[in-house]
Amino acid sequence: MRAGRGHYKIFLGMAAGVGKTYRMLQEGRAEAEDGRDVVVGYLEPHGREETVEQVGDLEFVPRRQVQYRDTVLEEMDLPAVIRRAPDLALIDELAHTNAPGLEHEKRYEDVQDVLDAGIDVYSTVNVQHLESLNDSVCELTGVRVRETMPDAVLNDADEVVLMDLTPEALLDRLREGKVYPAERIDSALNNFFRIENLAALREVALRQVAQEVESKRMVKEPLGQREDRLADSAATQAVGERLLALIKPTPRAQRLVRRAFRSAQRLGADLDLLWVKKPGYRPTPEEQNQLDGIGRVAAVLGAHLLVEEGDNLAQTVKEVAEEKGSTYVLIGTPKPRTGLDRFRPSVVSRLIENLPGVDLRVVADRALRGEEEP
């Protein structure tokens, strides 16, 4: 095992067919021509001839076969890649879910082991696979992406290369059969690959990479320069900002968590999630299922889930916010008030009164469509 962690480069795209894998192979071959030891750890060319041609004479680490129910699946052989110990491993499709029984559930976790072994890695992923964008992508495209990965994986990369292509150019490639087989083209054009979807995804990808660049710039700048730049900026941030999102164990809560994470990411803030329940209240089985789901999403995004008891929501939120040092509080849209509730101070009013100096944000609750990814 080599000393130190490997260098990590991710090729990011707005959708399938923009050239991520092609570019990864192209750069891998260039590295091999410069004398480096390069192997293909895993490749999924999807039958694209141009992509297959880019492999050239690069060495493949053979896949391993895994029996799952009545099917034999082929997966990356993680131990074999590490034993082979190349200078650089090319590993496609970062958000892929492995067959049960392997070392890790997800391929991005396999990649971490390869990096920890001192091996450089080039990999690929589409922007819609980022966990925090799952709801936004569904709203934009009407498609619910099944396989996701933590945003932190992208943040962890040493380099993120955006494979930018205009929607029109990608549609031309699709119609020419360079993205999917002929039998899938019409379905793709009528669903995910509509021009308005691609335009929206391209904007999301561009914004994501700009955010990554700014984040790495903040980390790498000398402290004095960083302070000078922030002092001149209209968007100056408080040191150690922290966002507290109020949730309930309902089906819409995971969407609020992802929205809160995106807000925290833009602010450079840590994220806490808080459910305030009545003293002694025991969640129903459905609520417990929802709470478990929220906990899983929180773990993926690096957020902290808190459950506190209290008769007074605003007072409990105040106590938690003071303890955690929260500078922002985020809540979903309150339900319309009826009956005598209309004459009492609203939740928003009570929170504003109890949280002087803390910014309060109310997130609009837009309905989601739940179609599956093609």
Band of the pLDDT at 227, cuts 50, 70, 90?
very low
> How large is the average pLDDT for residues 53-66?
92
As its CATH architecture, domain 238-372 has 3-Layer(aba) Sandwich (3.40)
User: 147 by DSSP, 3-state: which?
Assistant: coil
**CATH for 8-217?**
3.40.50.300
C-alpha–C-alpha distance, residues 25 and 43, integer Å? 9
CATH 3.40.50.620 domain extents, the chain: 238-372
User: What percentage of the chain exceeds 70 in pLDDT?
Assistant: 85
Pinpoint the residues of the chain covered by CATH 3.40.50.300.
8-217
User: Closest by alpha carbon to 86, among 114, 108, 62, 46?
Assistant: 114
* Residue 117: per-residue pLDDT: 96
pLDDT of residue 229: 42
Tell me the pLDDT tens digit for each residue of 84-122: 999 999 999 999 999 998 999 999 999 999 999 999 999
pLDDT of residue 76: 95
Helices (H) and strands (E) in the chain, counts: 14, 15
Predicted TM-score of the model (pTM)? 0.65
Question: pLDDT per residue over 176-188, tens digit each?
Answer: 888 888 888 888 8
Q: Phi, psi (5° rounding) for residue 260?
A: -65, -40
Q: 277-287 in b/e burial notation, b at 16+ Cβ within 10 A? A: beeeeeeeeeb
> Which of 26-30, 227-231, 275-279, 347-351 is predicted least confidently?
227-231
Dist. CA 134–CA 293, nearest whole Å: 14
Name the H helices within the chain: 20-33, 49-53, 78-84, 107-116, 134-141, 151-156, 167-175, 182-190, 195-220, 223-231, 253-267, 285-301, 313-324, 347-354
The radius of gyration computed from the CA coordinates of the chain, to the nearest angstrom, equals 23
Sign of CA dihedral 195, 9, 261, 360: negative
Q: What is the pLDDT of residues 255-308, one digit of tens each?
A: 888 888 888 877 878 899 999 999 999 999 999 999 988 888 888 788 889 999
